[in-house]
Amino acid sequence: MKEFDKLLGIAKRKADFDINNTWSNGSETYLAEIKNEVDEVIEELPKSRKCYLEDELGDVLWDYLNILTALEKEIGIDTRAVLERACHKYEERISGIETGEKWTDIKEKQKVALAIEHNSHSSKLFK
């Protein structure tokens, strides 16, 4: 999706700008801000003002992308890996419920797979 990539690029440009700004506290700044933006979405829902709701949802997306960008710099999170992981996770869940699996069973299998992946990566660090 071109718009997503464009917005992500803008967030990365902003992250470069934020490095020299005292108001920014990296991911903590955006984690706090996303809570505020979700509250604004909740406030906007009963007002039935589509353009305002779209604007507030855009703010949530913006802050989420800024969190990803900040965590990429702070601890090496790979934004593309987050997106790929989310696509895989929810494709597996939706495909599962479409074929009659229980949501809780699918989630449990995914938790086990994630624990195995984590343990596999952790054991490689100590070899």
Domain boundaries, the chain: 1-77, 78-127
pTM: 0.82
Which residue's structure tokens are 């952790």? 122
Angstrom distance (rounded) from CA 3 to CA 24: 25
CATH of domain 1-77: 1.10.287
pLDDT in tens, 59-117: 999 999 999 999 999 999 999 899 999 999 999 999 999 999 999 999 999 999 999 99
Angstrom distance (rounded) from CA 30 to CA 60: 10
